[in-house]
C-alpha cells in the first residue's frame, strides 16, 4: 500500500513538474505574430548624392544562413525611379530616408511627442542629409525569439552609386517590434529614426 501511494505521489509530482515546465517553455518562447526589424545606415552627409537623375541610388547586398537554405542577393534600390537630386528641391527637417520603394521625408518635425508629417518624394536637395533604411518583416505566426535568431544570421550592406563615392555601408538592425500597422508607414512615425 505504501509503495502504491509513493508511486502515485511521485507520479503526481512528475506530472505537475512536466506541466509547469511545458507552460514555462511556452511563456519563454513568447507570443507569436509578425515581427519587423528596421535596418539603417549611419547618416549620410549632405552632398553625398550629386545633382542629377538616377534610376537607383544604391545596391543592397543581403546574405543569410537562416531560414535555410542560406542565400545571397543583390538588388538595386530604391525601385520606381528615376530619382533626382536637384538644388530646387526643398530641404526637409531631419534625414530623408531612402527606402526600398520610396524616399520618405518629413514636412515637419515637432519637438513635442506628436508624430511628424511625412511625405514621399522623388527629388531631394543635394544639401539634404539622408539615411538608407531597409525594413524586413517575418512570416506570420513566429515568436520574436525565433525571428531574432534568424535576423542575427543576416548581413546587409548598401553600395552607393559610383557618383556618390561607391562606398559600401553596413546596415545595422536598430529596432525590432511587432507589426501593428503598415510596414511601409511605420518608419516615419518613429521620428525618422531619431
Write down the pLDDT at residue 180.
78
User: Are residues 72 and 158 both part of a single domain?
Assistant: yes
Which long-range contacts does 167-174 make (Cβ < 8 Å, 24+ apart)? 169/41, 169/42, 169/44, 169/132, 170/41, 171/39, 171/40, 171/41, 171/60, 171/132, 171/134, 172/39, 172/40, 173/37, 173/38, 173/39, 174/38, 174/39, 174/40
Distance CA 64, CA 72 (A): 7
Split into its structural domains, the chain has a count of: 2
Element (H, E) at 108: strand 103-108
- What would the pLDDT profile of 52-70 be if each residue is shown by its tens digit? 999 999 999 999 999 888 8
Residues 39 and 103 in one domain: yes
Give me the pLDDT at residue 76, please.
Answer: 93
pLDDT at position 19: 40
At 138 the pLDDT is: 92
- Residues of the domain holding 77: 32-190
pLDDT of residue 168: 97
Full-model pTM: 0.79
> Which residues of the chain carry a pLDDT beneath 70?
1-29, 111-113, 182-192, 194
pLDDT at 109: 77
The candidate with the shortest Cα–Cα distance to 194, out of 119, 133, 122, 124, is: 133
Domain shared by 98 and 72, yes or no: yes
Predicted confidence at residue 5, as pLDDT, reads: 33
Residue 135 sits in the same domain as residue 110: yes
- In 3D space, the residue among 65, 118, 59, 66 whose CA is nearest the CA of residue 92 turns out to be 118
pLDDT at residue number 15: 38
Amino acid at each position: 500500500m505504501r509503495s502504491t501511494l509513493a508511486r502515485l505521489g511521485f507520479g503526481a509530482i512528475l506530472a505537475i513538474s512536466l506541466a509547469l515546465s511545458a507552460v514555462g517553455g511556452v511563456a519563454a518562447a513568447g507570443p507569436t505574430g509578425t515581427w519587423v526589424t528596421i535596418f539603417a545606415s549611419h547618416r549620410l552627409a549632405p552632398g553625398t548624392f550629386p545633382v542629377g537623375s538616377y534610376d537607383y541610388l544604391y545596391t543592397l547586398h543581403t546574405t543569410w544562413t537562416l531560414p535555410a537554405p542560406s542565400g545571397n542577393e543583390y538588388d538595386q534600390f530604391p525601385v520606381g525611379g528615376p530619382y533626382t537630386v536637384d538644388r530646387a528641391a526643398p530641404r526637409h527637417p531631419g534625414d530623408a530616408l531612402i527606402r526600398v520603394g520610396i524616399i520618405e521625408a518629413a514636412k515637419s518635425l515637432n519637438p513635442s511627442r506628436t508624430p511628424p508629417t511625412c511625405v514621399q518624394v522623388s527629388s531631394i536637395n543635394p544639401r539634404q542629409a539622408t539615411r538608407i533604411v531597409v525594413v524586413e518583416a517575418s512570416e506570420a505566426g513566429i515568436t520574436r525569439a525565433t525571428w531574432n535568431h534568424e535576423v542575427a544570421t543576416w548581413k546587409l550592406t548598401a553600395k552607393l552609386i559610383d557618383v556618390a563615392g561607391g562606398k559600401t555601408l553596413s546596415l545595422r538592425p536598430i529596432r525590432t517590434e511587432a507589426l501593428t500597422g503598415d510596414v511601409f508607414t511605420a518608419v516615419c512615425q518613429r521620428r525618422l529614426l531619431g
